[in-house]
């Protein structure tokens, strides 16, 4: 799409203001009863008249196809239903992140409602990602009739093949990248299987908790058809959508298609506080307003993640499955403490990583660092922060005595899932997997130099030698006077925001800065003023030590163009609007 690329900003970004077809936008606005500015944003995101209603008002009944469209779904559902009807014992292997905790919990709550004992194995980070011989040894002694791996298992060939040979019936429910072969298990339900026909392509965007929910829909259908609920209550699957929303947001999958319905409806369920564990976690956070995707991604999710990073990985699903107020309260408070510890450890590793990188010429367009005293639980967060700081793919490795664990975060141009598969095929790492933008891997210390060289060349071939300059794609250019309560309410129709549907970036022109002051931990609060004298409260986060903060604090009546996002809070019947400054440019 054509548009205008402007000069470099004070934040070191290019601003891109795309052109839109005004006639197409007008038709969309008229057909769907939308304000023109909203229709323009939808057009920029490729949403036409046919898709607009499902985007703005996503509903499960419109966006979830028959679960049997996924390969192995029918046989998986029938096998799970068979074990439930027989009153058997089901074992679950999950992951130690939020997607793992929520997906494990949705299965557990469903099985518990139907009277089934559940064994849960969440590996510690030291044990490593995915199924293990240790887990199957536990399940053998406990007499498990069926093992389900969720959020893992698609490429765990050796462990799962060995377990299957020992007589275990295993179902894999996953969403990670697949290879041409699959483990020799009873069923593999994964929308990223290479033999899927992808009639509903957006199913590939699902997190594990989303795939798990589709599986439960299929299992519930089988149970209903077989008369299982004839003399007993049928579970309310929609009550599990708070877990589905949380896992979907925190796994940073695109909020498109079915995922939008999961999150939109799940936030409504979460607001009712039916899940005791989530209720107490929200109380600890003093979250007194209806939760949004922001709260899930930046307040609730990090505290559940902290358990797997610096605490006990099994506590996440324990909290989300809790039926006891006292237990849930104690766990929620513990999670908050874990999060404080996580931040301290993370800051140490981040500073150590920056010391390795800055002031040294880098051979490849990437950040690649490692340390022997770096906690495995925070390397993913640090990789993400390095990616944001340098705008290059970032790899952070924790070197232990017996193995090296690594985590990576990427930019749009580099597919980490494909990179990790390529490295495994060349035997440069011993294991790993992930998505386009995030991945984890393991290797031996002596493999680091060769793996680093491979990764560097892989990235260089795709990016070239020139530094990638980040670009801010502007969604709309407005006068400050246009921003009011009505505007904020209409803009909220685009929620939930997340990957694939980012918060709209708004450009405000000819703005004066009044009353700048430092607040909190390096933030700058100020007042934006238009030529006509219209005023709006604004804040720029963590800018005191950079050019944006310096400019805001030392502005003397100059005019600026400003890019940012609108934050609207409703509390006790009042709406408060604030502009979140992302970048700034002096008027020439």
**pLDDT, tens only, 408-454:** 999 888 999 899 999 999 999 998 887 788 898 999 999 999 999 99
Q: What is the dihedral of CA 510, 514, 520, 523, to 10 degrees?
A: 30
Q: What's the CATH code, domain 62-335?
A: 3.90.1640.30
Q: Check residue 142 and give its pLDDT.
A: 94
**pLDDT, tens only, 280-321:** 999 999 988 889 999 999 899 989 988 877 778 889 999 999
Topology of domain 3-57+471-586, CATH: OB fold (Dihydrolipoamide Acetyltransferase, E2P) (2.40.50)
Distance CA 23, CA 434 (A): 41
Range in 11-15, 439-443, 520-524, 536-540 with the lowest mean pLDDT: 11-15
* Residue 422: burial class (beta carbons within 10 Å; 0-12, 13-18, 19+): middle
Q: Check residue 1 and give its pLDDT.
A: 46
Distance CA 347, CA 580 (A): 24
Query: Running DSSP on this structure, what letter comes out for residue 501?
Result: B
pLDDT, averaged across the chain:
92
Distance CA 141, CA 579 (A): 58
As annotated, the residues of the chain forming the CATH 3.90.1640.30 domain(s) are: 62-335
Percentage of residues of the chain with pLDDT beyond 70: 97
Mean pLDDT of 190-209: 93
As annotated, the residues of the chain forming the CATH 3.10.310.30 domain(s) are: 361-463
- How many beta carbons lie within 10 A of that of residue 381, not counting itself? 21
Q: Check residue 186 and give its pLDDT.
A: 97
Topology of domain 361-463, CATH: Diaminopimelate Epimerase; Chain A, domain 1 (3.10.310)
pLDDT exceeds 70 at position 387: yes
- Contacts of residue 316, defined as CB under 8 A and 6 or more positions apart, other chains included, come to 96, 98, 100, 101, 105, 122, 304, 305, 307, 308
């Amino acid at each position: 799409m054509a548009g205008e690329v402007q000069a470099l900003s004070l934040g070191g970004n290019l601003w891109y203001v795309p052109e839109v077809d005004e006639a197409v936008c007008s038709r969309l606005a008229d057909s769907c009863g939308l304000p023109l500015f909203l229709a323009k944003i939808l057009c920029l995101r490729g949403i036409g008249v046919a898709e607009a209603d499902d985007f703005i008002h996503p509903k499960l009944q419109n966006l979830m196809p028959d679960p049997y469209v996924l390969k192995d779904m029918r046989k998986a559902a029938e096998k799970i239903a068979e074990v439930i009807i027989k009153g058997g014992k089901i074992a679950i292997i999950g992951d130690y992140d939020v997607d793992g905790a929520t997906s494990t919990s949705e299965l557990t709550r469903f099985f518990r409602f139907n009277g089934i004992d559940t064994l849960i194995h969440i590996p510690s980070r030291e044990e490593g990602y995915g199924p293990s011989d240790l887990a199957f040894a536990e399940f053998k002694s406990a007499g498990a009739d069926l093992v389900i791996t969720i959020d893992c298992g698609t490429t765990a060939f050796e462990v799962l093949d060995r377990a299957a040979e020992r007589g275990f019936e295993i179902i894999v429910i996953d969403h990670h990248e697949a290879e041409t072969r699959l483990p020799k298990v009873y069923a593999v339900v994964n929308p990223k299987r290479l033999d899927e026909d992808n009639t509903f392509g957006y199913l590939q965007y699902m997190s594990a908790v989303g795939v798990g929910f589709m599986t439960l829909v299929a299992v519930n259908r089988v149970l209903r058809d077989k008369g299982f609920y004839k003399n007993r209550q049928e579970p309310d699957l929609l009550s599990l959508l708070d877990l589905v929303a949380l896992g979907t947001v925190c796994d940073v999958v695109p909020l498109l298609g079915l995922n939008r319905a999961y999150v939109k409806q799940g936030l409504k369920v979460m607001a009712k506080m039916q899940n005791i564990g989530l209720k107490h976690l929200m109380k600890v956070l003093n979250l007194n307003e209806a939760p949004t995707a922001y709260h899930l991604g930046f307040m609730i999710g990090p505290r559940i993640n902290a358990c797997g990073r610096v605490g006990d990985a099994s506590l996440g699903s324990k909290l989300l499955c809790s039926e006891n107020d006292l237990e849930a309260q104690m766990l929620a408070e513990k999670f908050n403490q874990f999060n404080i510890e996580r931040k301290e450890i993370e800051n140490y590793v981040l500073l150590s990583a920056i010391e390795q990188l800055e002031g040294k010429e880098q051979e490849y367009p990437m950040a690649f660092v490692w340390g022997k005293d770096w906690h495995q639980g925070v390397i993913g967060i640090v990789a993400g922060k390095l990616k944001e700081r340098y705008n290059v793919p970032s790899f952070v490795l924790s070197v232990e005595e017996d193995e090296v664990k690594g985590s990576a975060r990427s930019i749009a141009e580099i597919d980490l899932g494909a990179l990790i598969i390529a490295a495994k095929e060349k035997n440069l790492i011993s294991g790993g997997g992930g998505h386009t933008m995030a991945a984890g891997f393991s290797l031996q210390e002596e493999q680091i130099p060769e793996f680093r060289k491979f990764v560097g060349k892989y990235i260089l071939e795709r990016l070239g030698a020139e530094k990638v300059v980040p670009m801010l794609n502007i969604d709309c250019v407005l006068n400050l006077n246009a921003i009011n309560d009505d505007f904020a309410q209409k803009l909220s129709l685009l929620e939930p925001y997340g990957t694939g549907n980012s918060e709209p970036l708004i450009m405000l022109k000819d703005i004066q800065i009044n009353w700048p002051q430092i607040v909190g931990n390096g933030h700058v609060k100020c007042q934006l003023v238009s030529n006509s004298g219209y005023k709006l409260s604004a804040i720029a986060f963590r800018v005191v030590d950079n050019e944006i903060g310096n400019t805001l604090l030392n502005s003397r009546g100059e005019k600026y163009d400003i890019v940012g996002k609108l934050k609207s809070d409703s509390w006790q019947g009042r709406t408060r609007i604030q502009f979140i400054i992302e970048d700034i440019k002096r008027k020439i």
